[in-house]
């Protein structure tokens, strides 16, 4: 799991911490500055995401997603099944082997996280064109508990199209990111996460809708060296910015939406009276930074008002 979509908030916080003589203050929206080794449990992102899916329509949604991994593996146990899986989901690249299947399932895990991040109350195109409350829309197709693998997989096709082809214009599902992997947006983040931005991720299938995965720094490091000849520095960010030692920090607003999986690594309690923490119970990823919309929850409108007042106070002090 990795995405540069939250980096602006983190950079804003660290900019104020590092250069308080230059920066008057910072609004760090959806900034998981605690999503680093030893600071936050590695399974928090996937636990929050699962909770979002459990409550979006009904609990059957996350249960079906949890059952789908085995259904995919069973179908892809032979060549005919691999082809069938590729045809059903209209994949740009065929599934030829176990590595392809794993990459496909990794892609689906990214999709679930991205939908939770963009679970806004109106249509958006932030990570992909999606409808209002896209998690609810996806879960509508998974509202019935499926006992049959074939029925489950066909329901998954309709559900995932909420993210992969909401506009109806996509010719195929690019699960290998072959058309976008060369962009600076993706490659830049891959390099950063193999250098300083080492964020541990893990999951347990008994507690989440995800496959069980342990955090393995050696495996992660070996993969980074293979791809970029880089060796990750897992504690570099903590050493540079102090980790959760925020007592001396001032003039930062940390805002977090509780529907945003990244909120688990955010600052949710103020370390002193010069740091402001704003919680948006109905907010997805940095919803308070987006343009005003008639569908905005009241908590988001109030958060923007509070942020403007706090920033005005900083400017008046300066």
Q: What is the Cα–Cα distance from 261 to 47, expressed in whole angstroms?
A: 8
pLDDT of res. 2: 46
Question: How many C-beta atoms surround the C-beta of residue 163 within 10 A?
Answer: 24
Per-residue pLDDT of the chain (318 residues; tens, 9 = 90+): 545 556 889 999 999 999 999 999 999 999 999 999 999 999 999 999 999 999 998 999 999 999 999 999 999 999 999 999 999 999 999 999 999 999 999 999 999 999 999 999 999 999 899 999 999 999 999 999 988 999 999 999 999 999 999 999 999 999 988 654 445 556 778 899 999 999 999 999 999 999 999 999 999 999 999 999 999 999 999 999 999 999 999 999 999 999 999 999 999 999 999 999 999 999 999 999 999 999 999 999 999 999 999 999 999 986
pLDDT of res. 144: 93
The pair of three-digit structure tokens given for residue 113, joined into one six-digit string: 């996280």
Q: Which of 17, 46, 26 is nearest to 265 (CA)?
A: 46
pLDDT of res. 318: 62
4-36+236-317 classified as CATH 3.40.50.1820 = yes
pLDDT of res. 188: 79
pLDDT of res. 50: 98
Which residues make beta-bridge pairs with 29? 255
Q: Where do the H-state alpha helices sit in the chain?
A: 7-18, 44-56, 60-75, 79-88, 98-117, 134-140, 149-164, 184-193, 217-228, 236-241, 298-317
Residue 152 main-chain phi, psi, to 5 deg: -60, -45
Question: Can you give the residue ranges of every domain in the chain?
Answer: 4-36+236-317, 44-164
Using CB atoms within 10 Å of the CB of residue 273, give its burial: 0 to 12 exposed, 13 to 18 middle, 19+ buried: exposed
Q: Domain 44-164 - what CATH class?
A: mainly alpha
pLDDT of res. 6: 64
């Amino acid at each position: 799991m990795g995405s540069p979509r939250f980096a602006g908030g983190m950079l804003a916080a660290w900019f104020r911490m590092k250069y308080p003589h230059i920066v008057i203050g910072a609004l760090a929206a959806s900034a998981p500055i605690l999503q680093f080794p030893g600071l936050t449990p590695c399974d928090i992102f996937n636990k929050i995401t699962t909770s979002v899916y459990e409550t979006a329509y009904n609990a059957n949604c996350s249960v079906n997603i949890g059952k789908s991994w085995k259904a995919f593996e069973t179908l892809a146990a032979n060549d005919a099944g691999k082809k069938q899986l590729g045809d059903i989901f209209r994949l740009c690249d065929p599934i030829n082997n176990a590595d392809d299947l794993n990459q496909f399932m990794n892609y689906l895990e990214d999709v679930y996280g991205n939908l939770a991040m963009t679970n806004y109350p109106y249509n958006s195109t932030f990570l992909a064109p999606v409808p209002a409350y896209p998690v609810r829309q996806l879960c509508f197709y998974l509202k019935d508990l499926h006992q049959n693998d074939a029925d489950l997989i066909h329901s998954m096709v309709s559900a995932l199209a909420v993210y992969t082809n909401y506009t109806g214009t996509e010719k195929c599902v690019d699960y290998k990111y072959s058309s976008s992997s060369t962009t600076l947006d993706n490659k830049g983040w891959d390099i950063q996460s193999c250098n300083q931005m080492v964020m541990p991720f893990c999951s347990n299938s008994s507690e989440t809708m995800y496959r069980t995965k342990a955090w393995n720094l050696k495996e992660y490091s070996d993969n980074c060296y293979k791809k970029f000849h880089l060796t990750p520095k897992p504690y570099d960010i903590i050493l540079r910015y102090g980790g959760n030692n925020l007592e001396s920090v001032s003039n930062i607003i940390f805002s977090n939406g509780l529907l945003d999986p990244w909120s688990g690594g955010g600052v949710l309690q103020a370390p002193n009276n010069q740091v402001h923490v704003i919680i948006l119970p109905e907010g997805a990823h940095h919803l308070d930074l987006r343009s005003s919309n008639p569908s905005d929850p009241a908590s988001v409108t109030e958060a923007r008002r509070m942020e403007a007042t706090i920033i005005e106070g900083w400017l008046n002090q300066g």
